[in-house]
Amino acid sequence: MSILPKKNQLGFFEIRLESIGGLGANLAGKMLAEAGVLGLGLNGSNFSTYGSEKKGSPVKSYIRFCDPDTEIRAHSPIEEPHVIGVFHEALYKMVDVVSGLAPDGIVLVNSVRDFDDIRRDLQLDYGTLAVVDALGIAVEEKTKVNTAMLGALFRVCDFLDPEAMKEVIRKTFEKKYPHLVEANIRTFERGYHEVRFQTYEAPANAERKSFSRLEPLLGYETQEIGGIITANANSIFKDLSGSRQGFLPKWEMEKCIHCAACDTVCPDFCFVWEEGEDKKGRKQMFLKGIDYQYCKGCLKCVEACPTAALTECREEIGFAEKHTVKQKFPMVLGGNY
């Protein structure tokens, strides 16, 4: 008798993890598949897809389970998952994280917000929404987000054996990082017990969400002749806020001495300056604020600041929008300096 709660037409139970580089979704997918295969005797497979292998770039990890007598002959990305795990809730700004989800599917989100707020942002009409503060747990236990998310995923996928996962955690960490074994097991258990659920009933005629695949803006049919870039430095149009891993710099003007140490180490356009005069009437550039559109949360500025005017702050929804000071690029917009 199968222990899988549901299967698609090929006999697979499928899970898709949506994340950004640096949160450990790739490793989480490997450990999740290993626990199902070695712990329960299921057939399983795991692989990930991503662009540049760096922190902040979108990552997808796929896990397929099937009964022992079913062979896995499909190795394409999972487009119609039964369960989706969203490791970084702001990812919805860049990626349609719930595409392909069935009406009775389950979405697990790393967040501290209310169910209805998350549901609105994800445009989730129906299904089950699970929420866990994986980042908060990881910070308190000094571990990673992925272990807390694994705990919650095992609660979502109740056919899996949590004890098998704990054994995988021990095998994964005991050789290189033995001091992290117990902390990661605590993180896993907290994720398992602290996840919350809310179900939105689907009508009888509810349809699966359509799957969308990101296509490049420019290809051989749409590339301009000669490969011309019409606006130089076009990276100023990018929104890097989805790359942050839960933390950003907070600026206190009263402590700032406008030394520009922050701007020296910043890899992007985060710091906004304006010309002014000091107390003696000398011209000087003064820091006006931070444009959080370009902030990836690397926190190099916090390390460089000599006066603690910049401090590490856990990001809350709406904080960046409320405190951002926008950059001005008049040449790109058609104006003059």
The domain ranges of the chain are 12-70+77-200, 234-332
| Domain 234-332 CATH class label | alpha beta
- Which burial class, exposed, middle or buried, applies to 132 when counting CB atoms under 10 A from its CB (0-12, 13-18, 19+)? buried
Superfamily grouping for domain 12-70+77-200: Pyruvate-ferredoxin oxidoreductase, PFOR, domain III (3.40.920.10)
DSSP 3-state assignment of 242?
A: helix
Contact 127, 197 (CB under 8 A): no
Residues 77-112, buried b or exposed e (16+ Cβ, 10 A)?
Answer: ebebbbbbbbbbbbbbebbbbbbbbbbebbbbbbbe
Q: What is the pLDDT of residue 310?
A: 96
Tokens read off for 77: 């990305």
Tokens read off for 15: 């899970």
| Side-chain-side CA neighbours of residue 160 (13 Å) | 29
Contact 20, 242 (CB under 8 A): yes
CA distances, 191 to each of 155, 169, 226 (Å)? 8, 14, 52
Q: What is the pLDDT of residue 337?
A: 46
CA distance 129 to 84: 10
Tokens read off for 5: 């709660």
Contact 197, 129 (CB under 8 A): yes
Sign of CA dihedral 135, 137, 142, 145: negative
List the pLDDT tens digit at each of the 337 positions of the chain: 578 888 989 999 999 999 988 888 998 999 999 989 988 899 999 999 886 656 677 889 999 999 999 999 888 899 999 999 999 888 887 788 888 888 889 999 999 999 999 999 998 888 899 999 999 999 899 898 999 999 999 999 989 889 988 988 888 888 888 888 999 999 999 999 999 999 988 777 777 777 766 666 677 777 766 655 555 555 777 788 777 878 899 999 999 999 999 999 998 889 999 999 888 888 999 999 999 999 988 899 999 999 999 999 988 878 898 999 999 877 665 544 4
